[in-house]
Amino acid sequence: MTDQRSGTKGILQRLKDHAGLILFVVAIIIMAVPFHYPVRIVNALTAEPVPGFDIHISAWRVLFEPFTGPLLFYLRAHQPLKEFTILLIWVILLILIVRIIRSIRIIRIKRSIKVPRSRSGFFTSLTTIVLTVSIWLGLLWLIIYLPLPSNTMINQREDTILINTHSHTEYSHDGIISTRGLQKWHKRNGYDAFFITDHNHHQHTLETVRAQENGDFPGTPLIMCGEEFSGSNHMTLLGLTSNFSTGGLTDQQVIDTTHNDGGVVIVAHWFDDERKSIPYFTGMGVDGFEIANQASGLTYNRRIFRDIVHNCTTHGLLMTGAADYHGYGSTCFTWNALEIPGWHQLDPGDKREAIMKLLRQREMSKFRVLLYNDRELPDPAMLPLSPLYTAVSYFRTLNTWQLLSWVAWLVLICLILRRTGRTKQDISSLPALETLSLASSLFLIINGIILFLKARNLTAYNDIYSGYSTLLLASGAGFMACTSFFIWFRRRKKKRTNTLRET
């Protein structure tokens, strides 16, 4: 009887020790099962799911879901940089709150035993915040630059192809990806063809298209020549076949020159700042407007969205979705689906002409803008609460295997901590944060050097490599110096304390 009681007490004590873990697992199961939000491909115009398209979830992502899943979910956020920055603010505020509560408790204890107050709490809080910012910067660049195993599109329609009408290489002033890297990204995300629309020039793209035609460049996906012209508003010039300069030309001259070259003109992300008016561009003879742009966010003002759609429907113009990919991150969440029967039997030249024919004729009946949908549209006013909203939205999307991955990793981490005698406090301790900060700082420095080396060969086209390399090198070196100082100071203080105890 005594053994049974002691056994029951032992079980209850273990449950109590792991109450936080158990509650967390129960919470994510509730969010993922009864409140599950299915990830799906929807029509940008109707927001309804589109049959024939599915989502592929990488086995690598599932295996490391607790580490890669949240990062990828942030990458697909409607305002990823803002939301990730707000997350940092939340973490810093949480650190300050915890430190204040601990300080109050320590002060009370010291008062009760009449021990002099210490000011080390402030320095510890400052140290923790600096280390947290350092780790945050490393995570941010990791999300941006590393090819994380993102979910991709599966096209199950035989006579439907997927194209992107807007993308940039490092030959754009704001691009951070090579031409080959850009092609690999499009292939990974299910595209059959894509336009390179580097800013205000297209000579390099024409050379790439010719190299692909001659077999000197990988044949899939199909690369098509375009340019993004910075006029009254940005416009993508698609299907260019001759090299001409748009420098110094007016909007009308650029539109006319593009049409004379057999191309089409799409007004790009007009909803960003609404320069000029929709009738202004319609009157000059543009062929269409972007109604979705991944780089600008997919949830701009719905009144503006309806105005663009109404104008395009009334005047028979194209409505396109743009990945507007510059090399930031591995995710993709917009495609253009075109119906082109017999696509796979066509040679590259006929494929290019089939796409351009459909664009020139503005056949929206054979054209759909598809969006990756994994969360409900957030209220912009709720942006300060985005860490809570994003966490709940993320866990709602998990499937059974992703959920099992979370549970398995949590149990594994708990077992490792128990075997090694470590605690949760050890993970969030200063030595642990210092180690992560040093790793983050080194990661930033290495990437700064890589971008610096790339910048030397692209000075005529790219100015973001030099800017980013300076930023990464300075921040990496600065945080490494701060972390090294914190480590030295902490060890010096510990040594003094030990000396005092000995004496």
Q: Is residue 20 included in any domain, yes or no?
A: no
* 221 cis-preceded (ω within 30 degrees of 0): yes
* 342, 390: one domain: no
* Domain end residue (candidates: 312, 339, 373): 373
* Domain end residue (candidates: 373, 394, 409): 373
In this structure, the strands spanning 53-56 and 152-155 are antiparallel
Average pLDDT in the 366-389 region?
Answer: 89
Q: Is residue 41 included in any domain, yes or no?
A: no
CA distance 430 to 415: 22
CA distance 494 to 482: 18
Cα atoms in the 13 Å half-sphere on the side-chain side of 393: 20
The answer on pLDDT for 166 being more than 70 is yes
Read off the tokens for 70: 């949240």
* 222, 83: one domain: no
123 band by pLDDT with thresholds 50, 70 and 90: confident
Domain of 104 in residue numbering reads as 77-146+382-502
The answer on pLDDT for 21 being more than 90 is no
Of the candidates 155, 104, 43, 129, the one whose C-alpha atom is nearest the C-alpha of residue 479 is 129
Q: Is residue 226 included in any domain, yes or no?
A: yes
CA 128 remoteness from chain centre: 26
Q: How many domains is the chain partitioned into structurally?
A: 2
Average pLDDT, the chain: 89
* 368, 404: one domain: no
The answer on pLDDT for 480 being more than 90 is yes
Indicate the residue type of 207.
Answer: E
CA distance 18 to 2: 24
Of the candidates 247, 245, 242, the one whose C-alpha atom is nearest the C-alpha of residue 263 is 242
**Cβ atoms of 142 and 179 closer than 8 Å:** no
User: What is the separation, in whole angstroms, between the first and last Cα of the chain?
Assistant: 53
Cα atoms in the 13 Å half-sphere on the side-chain side of 324: 21
- Write the CATH number for 299: 3.20.20.140
242 band by pLDDT with thresholds 50, 70 and 90: very high
